[in-house]
Structure 1
Amino acid sequence: MKDSDGLGYTPEVREVENVRGEARQLSSGILDAIAVKGDVTKPGPGVAVCGGKDSDYFYKIHHPWSLRGVPVGDLKGAMERLKDDLPKRGWKVVKYGPDSSPSRSLELIADSTEKKFSVNVSLDDRSGEGKDSQILVDLVSACFRVPDGKTVVGY
């Protein structure tokens, strides 16, 4: 099946649960690289719509989570560790530095072409507001297609 909606690639055929498991492993590796103990949000990776494709057969995996309950200085150190450690784990860091928001939050964007995932990690520094600062992680896969005879479930 050829790409016809501008994805720029033909989605690979993969079982939803296999890709969801891969997302769990990748998120776990990112948390290991952060190397800071804190409160991590619990919801696991979910199935998301793959824009412009038939949602019965095409999907992507989306796993947003956060780490909080840690001093902002430790979180800043964690962002630096991520920048240094992710390439050792098969990620290519494509951006590291302040984002375009008014707060100029520290942001890291990395791609894993082998695993077909991207991650956006940002430091939400709320220390000046008297609130907990946090690291926000947004892991998302490329679009995939379910094997013949199956449909996507789990939206």
Structure 2
Amino acid sequence: MSLSGIKTSIQLLTAKYRAVLETLNPEQFTETPPLGGWSYAEVYNHIFDSSLLSMMAISNCIKGQGTKGSTPFKVKMVLLWGKFPSGKKIKAPERIESRVKKISIEAARQLITDFEIMFEKHFSLIKTADPSVKVKHPVLNLLNARQWVRFIQIHLKHHLKQIERIENSFKQ
């Protein structure tokens, strides 16, 4: 997928997160779903906190502040296919999991805005980044700037499915 296609996709995905957020009340937002798992608040905190951390990694790649190395083949396939492998739940590393917390709707709005600002600020520079400069992802290993932005897109899309599961849990 082209960088412009990825940008458009990320903007549309972010708009979907905003739209869902506006349908929720504060109690529902922080309530643990009846079938268990993360609340909306925890998903929003995770996805946009992770997206901001990913933007920092992109910024480092753009500045040449990374390392050289190869991206594992299986990770290249995830980036090519645009989704995580099905059937196996990916567990976030403890250092990422420990950042997840219940936040308010207003805090979620602010995280989305912070991400959008940082995304717009750095996106046009991604194509100038040296593809051999990479920053380590906690699960996927070494990624360059283009791979990081593709990861953001895949990650946003992945967690929208989790939002749907939460919605369905409350309907049962």
Question: Could you tell me the TM-score, scaled by structure 2's length?
Answer: 0.24
Question: Could you tell me the TM-score, scaled by structure 1's length?
Answer: 0.26
Higher relative contact order (CA 8 A, sep 6+): 2
Higher strand share goes to which structure? Answer: 1
Higher helix share goes to which structure? Answer: 2
